[in-house]
Amino acid sequence: MNQLPGPVKAYFDASNEERLDSFLAAFNDDAYVFDDNREFRGIEEIRNWSKTDIFGAHVRFEITDATEHDGVYAVIASLDGDFDKTNLPSPFFLKHTFKLSGGKINELQVSLP
């Protein structure tokens, strides 16, 4: 997939550039995130999750694959940052599955590929 929709691209770009406000602007106010068996609902919970798990750890993503099926975008990205990498493969990949609504991220699920 050559072209990611704006909110998906913004998610990765803002993460890599450590721009929290731009990151949050990619989400609907009532968006849902499921990451590492934890659920985050609404922009304030997503803010707290991202400040700790993404921005606090200085996570950097490199997209390696992206597909779209029925309006759902699945992006595989390697990641690095200041987090415990004990027993993690190198490179370490995660799958981000995005559902959009109203031009923003409405749902994000982060999982192993």
Give the per-residue pLDDT at 3: 87
Domain ranges within the chain, ordered by starting residue:
6-111
R_g of the chain computed on alpha carbons = 13
The structure's pTM equals 0.94
pLDDT of the chain, 113 residues: tens digit per residue: 568 999 999 999 999 999 999 999 999 999 999 999 999 999 999 999 999 999 999 999 999 999 999 999 999 999 999 999 999 999 999 999 999 999 999 999 999 99
- According to CATH, the topology of domain 6-111 is Nuclear Transport Factor 2; Chain: A, (3.10.450)
Long-range contacts made by residues 106-111, C-beta under 8 angstroms, separation at least 24? Answer: 106/27, 106/28, 106/30, 106/31, 106/32, 107/31, 107/32, 107/33, 107/34, 108/11, 108/27, 108/31, 108/32, 108/33, 108/34, 108/35, 109/33, 109/34, 109/35, 110/33, 110/34, 110/35, 110/36
